[in-house]
Amino acid sequence: MAIDFEPLQTKSLARQIAERIRQSIVEGQLGADDRLPGEAQLAQQFGVSRPTIREALKRLAAQHLIRSRRGPSGGTFVNRPNEQQLRDSLTGAAIVAVSMGEFDSGEIAEARRELELLCCRLAVARHTPEDLAAMAAEIEKQCDPQLSDEDFCASDVRFHRALVDASGNKVLQLVMFSVIEALQPVINMVIFRFRERAQIVDYHQRILDALRARDAAAAADALSGQMRYLEQQIDVAQQWRRERSAD
C-alpha cells in the first residue's frame, strides 16, 4: 500500500527555533506561565521572518507546550504541565515500544511487579474510602459470569489503576499509568486463555481486604501472589505457542 508522505526538508528553521524554545522550557529557563517575547522580537533574535516564527510557535502549541491569549494582556505563554497529556504521551511511547518488540513479557511483568508493590505498600497507609470503593466496584463486575473476556481485562486494568491511585504519589501514578494502561493489557492478551478468572478475583479481594485492615504484609503477599500467578501463566502461554509453531 502506497503512503503519501510529505516531502522531506533538509533544513527547517521553524523546527530548529521550536526546538530551541522547547529546550529552554525543559531546562527551566522559561517557567510555567512565563510570557514569550512577541513575534517581532523573536524574529529579530533569531534573524528570521515573522511567518517562520509563527510556524515555530504552531509546532510548540501542537506539543501543548505553549498557549496564546488575545487582548491587552494577551500574548504567548508557557503552559503548565498537564497530567493527562503527560500520561497520554507516556502511554503512547510505551505502546509504540511494545509494538516494536522493545520489551518482552518477562520484562513487563517484572517491572510491573516491583513498581506496583511499592504502590501497594503506600496505599495501605494512604488509601481513601473512594479508592476502596472503586476497587470493590471492579471486583463486583469481575464476579459476573456473563462478563466478556475483553470487559474482564478492562476491569482488571481499572482495579490496578485504583490501587496505584491509592498510593497518593503523583510521580508513581504518572509512571505506572503507562504500565497499567499500555503494558498490562499486553499481558492480559497473552494469558487470557489460560488464567482462571476466579483466581484473579480472589487475589483482588485479598488485596482489598488487606488495604481495609491496613495490613501491609498481607497486601504485599496478595499482590505478589497475583504477580507470580500471572508470570506462571505467561510461561504456559509461551509454551503453548511454541508447541503450536512446532506443529
Cα-to-chain-centroid distance, residue 7? 33
C-alpha cell at 22: 522547547
In this predicted structure, the answer to whether residue 70 has a pLDDT above a threshold of 90 is no
Per-residue pLDDT, averaged over 146-162, amounts to: 92
CA-to-CA dists, residue 233 to 105, 109, 150, angstroms: 11, 11, 18
pLDDT score, position 31: 82
- pTM score > 0.85 for this model? no
The secondary structure element, H or E, covering residue 78 is strand 75-78
Q: What is the pLDDT of residue 204?
A: 97
Chain segment 26-52, per-residue pLDDT in tens: 777 888 888 888 889 999 988 889 999
In this structure, what are the phi and psi dihedrals at residue 188, rounded to the nearest 5 degrees?
-60, -40
Mean residue pLDDT of the chain comes to 83
- Domain-wise residue ranges, the chain: 13-78, 83-242
pLDDT in tens, 161-175: 999 999 999 888 888
At residue 89 the predicted structure's pLDDT band, cuts being 50, 70 and 90, is low
pLDDT digits (tens, 9 = 90+) for 184-220: 776 777 677 778 899 999 999 999 999 999 999 999 9
Q: Can you name the CATH fold of 13-78?
A: Arc Repressor Mutant, subunit A (1.10.10)
Give yes or no on whether 13-78 and 83-242 have one common fold: no
Model pLDDT, residue 12: 85
The predicted structure's pLDDT at residue 81: 67
All three cell numbers of 43, joined, read 524574529
pLDDT at 110: 83
The rounded distance, in Å, linking the Cα atoms of 55 and 70 is 18
How far is CA 225 from its chain centroid?
24
Q: Which fold has domain 83-242?
A: Four Helix Bundle (Hemerythrin (Met), subunit A) (1.20.120)
* pLDDT tens, residue by residue, 6-33: 443 435 888 888 888 888 887 778 888 8
